[in-house]
Structure 1
């Protein structure tokens, strides 16, 4: 029987921490250098590449469209797999070294939601080990143990902006989609949430300020802290008097009868 308990589902990269620019990009470039490849992605270039869901998929796309990198089609799958394994290890080391602090309000909102009886989960198409490392660094072991689960990696065939990761999470949780609020940071992630029929908040990250979020319930700079209010961008202004996104903010989004995207 589908549960009617409310649920908060968060993406990882760019939501829990600003991982793309300061974590994944750094690790990708280091992995390329160690492999002897003459590749170094810049921030602007990577901002376009992150629109492709999944690290392996980004590398495969880049290597196929840049033959000067010297990776043949015959060697592509093996090269991508090797690079991704090394990149993931380098990335986890960055996280464990404390190089990627959690974004404002993330731990506060997760713990408040759990305390108020919400189910909380993480749904990401990044590698599970990387997601778990960021999650534990952001909320701590005790709070991680209270979560309903983490859905990550290659458990679905199609990465965001396809809705598959959210649909899989809803199925495994036996969760009523009408009782879910998602937190995303990118256009591809927001499109995935919308395609799954889920209300969503967008907290823009360093690489997604210019993305479009037509179906978002609200777009803010981050979730906010009492001493560092979130900046409102568009949609419903669900912030409380301190300028933070709270559990009542989530409930307000659920209570809104008319959705901004077509049914």
Structure 2
């Protein structure tokens, strides 16, 4: 079956209603954007660089040092694919194709096509949308119920192949992930992973790449634990309720527009770390945008920066409440 680019009908992704105006930045070629009507929320947007500027480090350190322990996040919530590990192109896509080959379906998802399919949250949903659009393979059953079982069996095999890649450590953690998780756990901040991917696949990433000591302290919300996938906020709402924290006290690290939409719809602060497939997506509604988390000496942000974002949100809310009473 040909793998030509296709146009899929996708759920709408909420975007910011604020108009945005670029301002000159002290960081050379980088740009600082401040959203109108939201004086406390700034969007730091960075191109990929080998080393972040000294002036930015000073700015972040200054902002972070003014934050107190009371502004630390109650929970730090990570997406998995593209955030913990850049898994999509050389992990999930390869595993889907290997599954299609094993089943002799005559289907191949090339790099460009898979980038379009990623706009649909969830692997089973992704396959279903693709086959509905391009036609089901000859070996697929005809009834809707049997097709659900067929898709589930394909996804189960794909997950097994993906887990083998993770267990063999063929895909590394992204820079700064372990550092930020360690900072959060050391300060008593709850850590969870919230993903549309299969729970077994996410657990494999967490246990194999972060190690068992960290894994036992990280709660996982993944797969079909909620009926609606991102950009629906259900996964983040469930995480906040289960962890017993207020959504407004959570900081989410995402890499995609649908993940950002889910986090903001849940009422959470969201930092985007762009990944290979998401570099050109619209992140104007994010609270901050970076190319990665980063490890020293090329660190982009840390837990103190997350706290500074929450403090800004708190101050903004207090100002708005004060103005409404005038």
Q: TM-score, normalised by structure 2?
A: 0.71
Matched, 1:34 2:102: yes
Per-residue deviation, 1:68: 6.0
Distance (whole Å) between structure 1 residues aligned to residue 231 and residue 209 of structure 2: 25
Matched, 1:256 2:312: yes
Per-residue deviation, 1:73: 4.4
Matched, 1:92 2:163: yes
Per-residue deviation, 1:5: 6.2
- Correspondence for 1:214: 284
Root-mean-square deviation (CA, aligned residues, Å) is: 1.5
**CA offsets 1:27-74 (integer angstroms, 9 cap, x no match):** 000000001111100111111111101000000101111116333541
Distance (whole Å) between structure 2 residues aligned to residue 256 and residue 73 of structure 1: 55
Q: Point out the more displaced range, 108-117 or 136-145.
A: 136-145
- Correspondence for 2:133: 65
Q: Which has the larger radius of gyration?
A: 2
Residue 104 of structure 1: which of 162, 175, 188 is its match?
175
The answer to whether the 8 Å contact 2:73/2:251 transfers is no
Per-residue deviation, 1:136: 1.6
Residues 154-165 of structure 1 aligned to structure 2 (within 5 Å): 154-165=224-235
Per-residue deviation, 1:137: 2.5
Residue 178 of structure 1: which of 233, 245, 248 is its match?
248
Matched, 1:56 2:112: no
- Correspondence for 1:202: 272
Distance (whole Å) between structure 1 residues aligned to residue 280 and residue 253 of structure 2: 17
Per-residue deviation, 1:116: 1.3
**Per the alignment, in what secondary structure is the counterpart of residue 200 of structure 1?**
strand
Cα 1:81–1:142, aligned 2, differ >3 Å: closer, same or farther?
same
Distance (whole Å) between structure 1 residues aligned to residue 277 and residue 300 of structure 2: 22
The answer to whether the 8 Å contact 1:184/1:202 transfers is yes
The answer to whether the 8 Å contact 2:177/2:293 transfers is yes
**CA offsets 1:113-169 (integer angstroms, 9 cap, x no match):** 11012111111121110001111233111011122x111110110000100100111
Distance (whole Å) between structure 2 residues aligned to residue 79 and residue 212 of structure 1: 34
Per-residue deviation, 1:202: 0.4
Residue 212 of structure 2: which of 138, 141, 149 is its match?
141
**Per the alignment, in what secondary structure is the counterpart of residue 256 of structure 1?**
helix
The answer to whether the 8 Å contact 2:236/2:262 transfers is yes
Paired residues in the alignment total 241
Higher relative contact order (CA 8 A, sep 6+): 2
Matched, 1:19 2:80: no
The answer to whether the 8 Å contact 2:73/2:307 transfers is no
Runs of 4+ in 1 over 4 A off after TM superposition: none
Distance (whole Å) between structure 2 residues aligned to residue 15 and residue 33 of structure 1: 28
Per-residue deviation, 1:256: 1.1
**Per the alignment, in what secondary structure is the counterpart of residue 201 of structure 1?**
strand
Distance (whole Å) between structure 1 residues aligned to residue 136 and residue 270 of structure 2: 40
Unaligned residue ranges in structure 1 (runs of 5+): 230-242
Distance (whole Å) between structure 2 residues aligned to residue 101 and residue 5 of structure 1: 26
The answer to whether the 8 Å contact 1:101/1:137 transfers is no
Q: TM-score, normalised by structure 1?
A: 0.88
